[in-house]
């Protein structure tokens, strides 16, 4: 059982309102001028100026090379070296990098090709937060992007790395690193440009911090959505065999793909700071040159199952479940209905769902992906907003409209009408009015 004490400088503190990036000339800081001046933003906060040194020291103290990385193939080796947590690190302090003296913050990490069509909506949504310090924003987009950016993203644009369709791992790693430079970022949410919020920011904040695990020393757990839609990745095997192998050796050295299993799941997930550090310290990406034979039939992009893959190798087949989704007892709880409801933060509708999941009008915009919505039902959006789950909805087109009644009468653009709906219908607003 992994238990650790997290230094105050690492966990809680003042959330600097500086957005961070890095370039060939070194660390780059820029104020998020849309909301606060530089002088207001920098009071009492120390950014992590030497993230590389921090991650290198963390890796040396707390990680050890994984004995084997077979990727599910007999006698095959990975082109990269994975690391796992040392057995001797059952109790250790995660030293802080920088200093934080206020509320912990949620980092919103956007992956984009070029345009960010809902920039104004996200800026207005953040304006609803009771404490703007509780959120930071980062954006990674292609190096050949030319579209003008909303001020919300200009200050937090990070230097691009190579990405392509279905291969966002390097971009994700760059976003983790950018967010880790701010010591107050404790939860980190991956988002796409087709994401829209369907919860009040204060509700999002409360939900992300409310599920904690004793196995993580009280830290909020990472949140990963395991849906029926997603298959198990790896060679065919009986679950009983997997459980038996886990019981024999619960260490991180049991995490070879031919002993455990990976999960194909929604890429849009939330990491806590510890798991982001584990990922960033390894500095690995999926070795595309040595795809295992079982990868191709799944027709799944590597970035969809890589998050669980790297955590499983780092923590072990048994420990990983105790550190995600509120602290699961074992692998069998991952797809219980209430677990899915609580931890699938991003709602999607897949092509095999009837009536477009009752959400509006959509079409199949990619061969294997979820449906893209051109219209959303006003009444259904109100239902989503009034509940605490999901937190976000994905695959909304930039010009999507809201419709009412059975005749699908359009009443306005989603980008313009969603914010008033959230403001007037969220649990946070209703509870505040009652109190």
Q: For residue 65, what is the enclosing H or E element?
A: strand 63-65
Say if strands 105-112 and 135-141 run parallel, antiparallel, or are unpaired.
parallel
Q: What is the mean pLDDT of each run of 10 residues along the chain (435 residues)?
A: 32 30 25 26 65 90 72 49 74 65 92 92 96 95 86 83 73 91 93 95 96 81 74 39 40 55 72 91 62 46 73 81 86 83 90 80 84 95 93 96 87 97 79 46
Strands, E assignment, 142-242:
185-192, 196-197, 232-233
10 Å CB burial of residue 420 (0-12, 13-18, 19+) is exposed
Q: For residue 176, what is the enclosing H or E element?
A: helix 169-180
What letter would DSSP give residue 261?
-
Question: How many Å apart are CA 100 and CA 98, to the nearest integer?
Answer: 7
Contact between residue 85 and residue 2 where contact means Cβ atoms under 8 Å apart = yes
Domain residue ranges in the chain: 5-343, 349-434
Number of other CB atoms surrounding residue 80 within 10 Å: 13
Query: Which residues neighbour 403 within 8 Å (Cβ) at sequence distance 6 or greater?
Result: 360, 361, 375, 376, 377, 378, 409, 410, 411
- Report whether the peptide linkage leading into residue 390 is cis, meaning its omega lies within 30 degrees of zero: yes
The CB-side HSE value for 319 (13 A sphere, CA atoms) comes to: 26
Among the listed residues 377, 430, 425, 396, the one whose alpha carbon sits nearest the alpha carbon of residue 122: 396
Contact between residue 427 and residue 205 where contact means Cβ atoms under 8 Å apart = no
Contact between residue 165 and residue 134 where contact means Cβ atoms under 8 Å apart = no
Give pLDDT, residue 166. Answer: 58
Query: DSSP 3-state helix, strand, coil percentages of the chain (rounded to 5)?
Result: 35, 20, 45
Say if strands 232-233 and 346-347 run parallel, antiparallel, or are unpaired.
unpaired
Among the listed residues 386, 398, 376, 383, the one whose alpha carbon sits nearest the alpha carbon of residue 423: 386
Query: Which residues neighbour 148 within 8 Å (Cβ) at sequence distance 6 or greater?
Result: none
For the chain, the straight-line distance linking the first and the last C-alpha, in angstroms and rounded, comes to: 41
Give pLDDT, residue 256. Answer: 53
What are the structure tokens assigned to 404, written together?
């009412």
Q: Inter-axis angle of helices 414-425 and 427-434, to 10 degrees? A: 40
């Amino acid at each position: 059982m992994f238990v650790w004490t997290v230094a105050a400088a690492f966990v809680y503190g003042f959330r600097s309102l500086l957005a961070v990036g890095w370039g060939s000339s070194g660390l780059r800081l820029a104020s998020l001028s849309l909301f606060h001046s530089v002088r207001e933003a920098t009071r009492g906060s120390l950014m992590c100026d030497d993230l590389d040194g921090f991650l290198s020291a963390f890796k040396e103290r707390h990680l050890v090379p994984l004995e084997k990385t077979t990727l599910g193939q007999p006698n095959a080796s990975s082109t990269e070296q994975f690391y796992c947590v040392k057995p001797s690190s059952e109790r250790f302090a995660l030293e802080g990098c920088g200093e934080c003296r206020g509320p912990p913050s949620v980092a919103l990490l956007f992956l984009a090709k070029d345009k960010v069509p809902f920039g104004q909506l996200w800026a207005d949504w953040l304006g609803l937060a009771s404490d703007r310090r509780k959120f930071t924003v980062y954006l990674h987009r292609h190096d050949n992007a030319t579209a003008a950016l909303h001020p919300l993203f200009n200050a937090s644009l990070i230097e691009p790395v190579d990405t392509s369709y279905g291969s966002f791992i390097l971009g994700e790693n760059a976003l983790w690193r950018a967010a880790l430079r701010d010591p107050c970022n404790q939860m980190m949410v991956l988002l796409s440009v087709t994401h829209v919020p369907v919860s009040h920011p204060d509700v999002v904040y409360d939900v992300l911090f409310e599920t904690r695990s004793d196995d993580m020393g009280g830290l909020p757990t990472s949140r990963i959505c395991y849906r029926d839609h997603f298959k198990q990745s790896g060679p065919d095997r009986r679950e009983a065999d997997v459980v038996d192998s886990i019981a024999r050796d619960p260490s991180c050295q049991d995490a070879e793909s031919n002993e455990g299993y990976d999960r194909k799941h929604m890429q849009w997930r939330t990491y806590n700071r510890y798991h982001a550090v584990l990922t960033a310290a390894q500095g690995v990406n999926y070795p595309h040159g040595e795809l295992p034979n079982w990868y191709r039939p799944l027709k799944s992009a590597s970035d969809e199952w890589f998050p669980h893959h790297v955590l499983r190798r780092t923590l072990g087949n048994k420990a990983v479940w105790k550190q995600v989704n509120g602290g699961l007892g074992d692998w069998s709880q991952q797809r219980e209905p209430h677990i899915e409801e609580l931890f699938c933060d991003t709602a999607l509708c897949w092509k095999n769902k009837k009536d477009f999941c009752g959400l509006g009008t959509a079409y199949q915009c990619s061969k294997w992906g979820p449906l893209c919505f051109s219209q959303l039902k006003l009444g259904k959006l109100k239902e989503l907003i009034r509940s605490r789950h999901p937190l976000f909805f994905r695959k909304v087109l930039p010009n999507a409209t809201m419709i009412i009644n059975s005749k699908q009468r359009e009443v306005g653009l989603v980008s313009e009408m969603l914010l008033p709906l959230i403001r007037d219908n969220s649990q946070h607003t209703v509870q505040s009015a009652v109190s």
